[in-house]
Structure 1
Amino acid sequence: MPIITFNGHEAVRLRKANTASSWGNRSEINRVEPVAKPAFSVPFRLEPGEKIFTIGSCFARNVEAELRKRGFKVPMRDLFKTPAFEKLSPEIVNNFGTPSIYNELAWAFGEEPFDEGKGFVEVRPGQFIDLHMVPSIRPGPIEDVRARRAGLHEATRSLADCRVLIMTLGLVELWYDNVSGDYLNVAPLPSTLNAFPDRFSLHVLSFDDCYRYLHQAFDIAFKYGRKDLQVVLTVSPVPMTATHRDCDVLVANSYSKSVLRAVAEQICAEDQRISYFPSYESVTLSDRRIAWMDDLVHVTEYLIAFNVDRMVSAYSGEDGTELAPPDAVELPRESAEALIFADKARDARNRSDRAFFKKEAHRAKDSPGFAIEYARFLFDQGEFDEALAVIADDDSRSAIVLRGELLYALEDFAAVVETVRPLCKRGVKGNAQWRLRTNSAVRLGSVEEIEATRDAWIVADPRRETFILTQIGSALRRAGHQDLAFGHLSKAMGHTDAYAVTQLEMATLLLERGEIDRAEATIADIKPEIPAQENRLAALRKRIDAERAA
């Protein structure tokens, strides 16, 4: 069945009347390059200071921040003023799949019972987690977990008092709880998967699956919400960071977003109370160098702000004063031809083609992309000083990290720390700068710098505290500071999301301290996650046997 039908004359009339019916071209100002500005309808206006309910993936959190700046009330943010949620990140209420959006609404309004016996899991004596909240929350007593769940239900019920609902759809690759029969919001932690190996399975949802859950979610919203409830529906442009399927994440993500975009179109066509805002199209159709951070997953702060401001301004009835673009140094500095040639340089580097770089070396002056590949080629050849000279004037993140790697190879560890420190902050993605800073601090023998790195890293990425503590504990162990290393690794081991590598690091440290029995106990139930960990585990067991034999 078609979702929309027009007779021939009406279809032609609509095309001629629609100023956004064609793409435009590069010979004139257009709404596609470099930042895409898709047109959208605004069927209602926001009223100054009114309460607005938000639910969905990370774009919903971005919208909340802008709404609050403009004086609107956002009940989901008020949740974080309560004792159960203080000091927690707003990201913990993200809902990535249509089933989890449905779950939260159904549980909050009593359409479905929330079963604590299945939703809460005891990960160690007296310490529980809520399987349906983002697992960056540390385990706690059942009373704390129950209080957070009750607080989230109460905040979700505030939808009943709001005239406007803003919802963002995230992904379709979801984890299913075979015990409860519910979809989880995010993947369970490795430790939870290991503890319950048959409980969870991965589902890749179909159009019908996503549509059914979203339709049921809106049924609840319109049943319990105000009679004049209006909905703005969006699809998050942020892709999956990784896929569990046996295919390229680019392909898996394309399917995921295509399904959600089709579901959004179907839902909007069926219900005039639901309108669509094209944040997904704006980001994915914009120049990639403006739209995406260096990790190619997270949207730049500029384009997030641009889209949120554009949406809120339009629905507020304000004049569209677009945000100024990033500074020139942040904008694309190369033509398509130069970028393609940089790709050729990447292939030449993989072939160790010295003749190619000797012939084309002059391009480094005008093409940062080529310069990076040329410097990496020189790095591979052990020509570190020459590589540093090639990227001396480049201040991009890629060049700064490469400069740090070159300085590390030259064993100028103090210079490495000074070079990468500006990248060690919130909003700058990637681990390379942190590892360089940590390893350089170890080589310098500076406990002060190691601990400063730890503190800055946790502030910048609090959700990965276990990983960070493990990395810092490993660095301290290698630097010979066993007591400090033990403290960090013990703290990491106490988290429910402790990695196999954390256990391996702790066992290694215990062996170095001569505590053979504790080392053996630490790795007794370990489940390696990658072949390298299996090899390290085998080496540790062999070492333990040798120590006992001695």
Structure 2
Amino acid sequence: MTHPYSDAASHRLWRRGVSAFEANADPIVNFPFRISPSDKIVTAGGCFAPLIANRLQTAGYNFLVTEKAHPLLPEETAALFNYGRHSARYGSVHTARQLLQLLRRAYGRFEPIEDMWFEGDNKLVDPFRPLIQPDGFACIEEYRLDRAQHFAAVREAFETMDVFIYIFSMTECWENRKDGAVFPLCPGVAGGHFDESVHAFRNQDVGEVVADMTLFLEELREVNKDLRVILAVSPVQFIATGSDDHVLCASTYSKAVHRAACEAITKCDPAVAYFPSYEIIAGPQTRGRYFDDDLRSVTDAGVDRIMDLFFKHVTDEGAQWAASGNETRVEIGVKSEQVNYAARAQSLTKSLCDAVLLDLGG
């Protein structure tokens, strides 16, 4: 007897698509579009997003940076002030709601009530990017000028990019009860003061994530109609949860919500594609080999594996590479004038995963 599984392709069967390859299993089938080194690429997300941006730069891809440090500023100092980590100096954008509000704030459509935090007598912190200025801003005028420059850079990135890569990081966030403004970190962790009467914990479900991301894409296409979008789920696990659940269950919930949301969004929008970074790292085929000793951080080898498959399936050069039958690591489009990207990647990994601040105790 014949049935729909009789002649199923290998990638549809666990034994032939996963077990036969173990950690080298390739879960990507027919990625819907390709990008080229000339495409202007913008990334956003949590602490995993800068690692992807760094690898794109290493391979000679056009990672678009619209908010740049002064040319006389040393590279290490610029990195401390968050220049070059993301396309603009917006820091970590963990949730779809934060991403939507970033766009609306940049275009003057949303002005949060709680738009600055004061620390002592001489430190002012941006609630929506609390770690981008190590010692805070010296005064309100400096803060407002920097924010105006920042919003201009965000608008330029959104309007001129060809490809937007967003890596979902968390479903959990803290919001202002009055206007719903969401923060990348709980008030009091890296600035501000937590007030239970003002701040509320929110843990988004699938419907909320899909609604927020759909609105973001609709409003983004008002200024960039030909944009292609790649969605991914960060394989980095939670370091802490604001809920009463065990952190393992809370992290699993967040990953499941984001994976389901990505599926719903991509099914309705042909210009949006899903890249399975989470499955590549956290799938059972890896036996945990791509997680660091803390069981949540992704090793360099894990990032390498993600980017090997990204270049193979998502880039023009990767299509040529795959057709040649080459089985070695992808090394395409490398710039002749090399920046020390390895050192920069190490700095990115160690310095500004802002969620680390949630668990500094013993």
CA 1:247/1:270 → structure 2, altered by over 3 Å: closer, same or farther?
A: same
Residues 1:113 and 2:102 aligned together = no
Deviations 1:104-133 (A, max 9, x none): 1222234x2334x62112222242111111
Which residue of the partner structure matches residue 361 of structure 1? none
Deviation at 1:136, TM superposition (A): 6.0
Gaps of 5+ in 1: 1-8, 325-424, 429-457, 468-496, 502-529, 533-550
Deviation at 1:238, TM superposition (A): 0.8
Deviation at 1:185, TM superposition (A): 1.8
Higher RCO (CA 8 Å, separation ≥ 6 residues): 2
Which residue of the partner structure matches residue 311 of structure 2? 312
C-alpha separation in 2, matches of 1:37 and 1:60: 21
C-alpha separation in 2, matches of 1:53 and 1:426: 18
C-alpha separation in 1, matches of 2:345 and 2:32: 35
C-alpha separation in 1, matches of 2:227 and 2:348: 39
Counterpart AA for 1:63: I
Which residue of the partner structure matches residue 260 of structure 1? 258
C-alpha separation in 1, matches of 2:61 and 2:145: 27
Which residue of the partner structure matches residue 79 of structure 1? 67
Which residue of the partner structure matches residue 351 of structure 1? none
Deviation at 1:98, TM superposition (A): 0.7
* TM-score w.r.t. length of structure 1: 0.53
Which residue of the partner structure matches residue 338 of structure 2? none
Deviation at 1:459, TM superposition (A): 10
Which residue of the partner structure matches residue 53 of structure 1? 42
C-alpha separation in 2, matches of 1:277 and 1:195: 36
DSSP-derived class of the 1:66 partner: helix
Q: Mapping of 1:154-193 within 5 angstroms?
A: 154-157=152-155, 158-190=157-189, 192=191
Residues 1:131 and 2:127 aligned together = yes
Deviation at 1:193, TM superposition (A): 5.9
Which residue of the partner structure matches residue 271 of structure 2? 273
Deviation at 1:18, TM superposition (A): 3.8
Percent identity between the aligned chains? 23
Q: Mapping of 1:403-418 within 5 angstroms?
A: none
Cα RMSD, aligned residues only? 3.6
C-alpha separation in 2, matches of 1:283 and 1:462: 22
Q: Mapping of 1:3-402 within 5 angstroms?
A: 12=4, 16=7, 18-24=9-15, 30-31=20-21, 33-75=22-64, 77-82=65-70, 86-87=78-79, 88-89=81-82, 90=85, 93-110=91-108, 112-115=109-112, 118-135=114-131, 137=133, 138-141=135-138, 142-157=140-155, 158-190=157-189, 192=191, 194=193, 196-225=195-224, 227-285=225-283, 286-317=285-316, 318=318, 319-320=321-322, 321=326
- Is 203-212 or 281-290 further displaced after alignment? 281-290
Deviations 1:18-73 (A, max 9, x none): 431111259x9724x13442123322221332211222223322221122223322
Which residue of the partner structure matches residue 453 of structure 1? none
CA 1:193/1:133 → structure 2, altered by over 3 Å: closer, same or farther?
A: closer
C-alpha separation in 1, matches of 2:98 and 2:328: 34
Counterpart AA for 1:284: A
Deviations 1:310-356 (A, max 9, x none): 213322222145666xxxxxxxxxxxxxxxxxxxxxxxxxxxxxxxx
Counterpart AA for 1:221: L
DSSP-derived class of the 1:312 partner: helix
* TM-score w.r.t. length of structure 2: 0.78
Deviations 1:69-103 (A, max 9, x none): 2332222x452435899342327622111111111
Deviation at 1:277, TM superposition (A): 0.6
Deviation at 1:266, TM superposition (A): 0.2
DSSP-derived class of the 1:45 partner: coil
CA 1:193/1:104 → structure 2, altered by over 3 Å: closer, same or farther?
A: closer
Which residue of the partner structure matches residue 334 of structure 2? none
Aligned residues: 327
DSSP-derived class of the 1:135 partner: coil
C-alpha separation in 1, matches of 2:152 and 2:328: 36
C-alpha separation in 1, matches of 2:255 and 2:352: 25
Counterpart AA for 1:274: V
CA 1:58/1:313 → structure 2, altered by over 3 Å: closer, same or farther?
A: farther
C-alpha separation in 2, matches of 1:269 and 1:298: 30
Deviations 1:485-544 (A, max 9, x none): xxxxxxxxxxxx9x9x9xxxxxxxxxxxxxxxxxxxxxxxxxxxx9x9xxxxxxxxxxxx
C-alpha separation in 2, matches of 1:201 and 1:322: 50
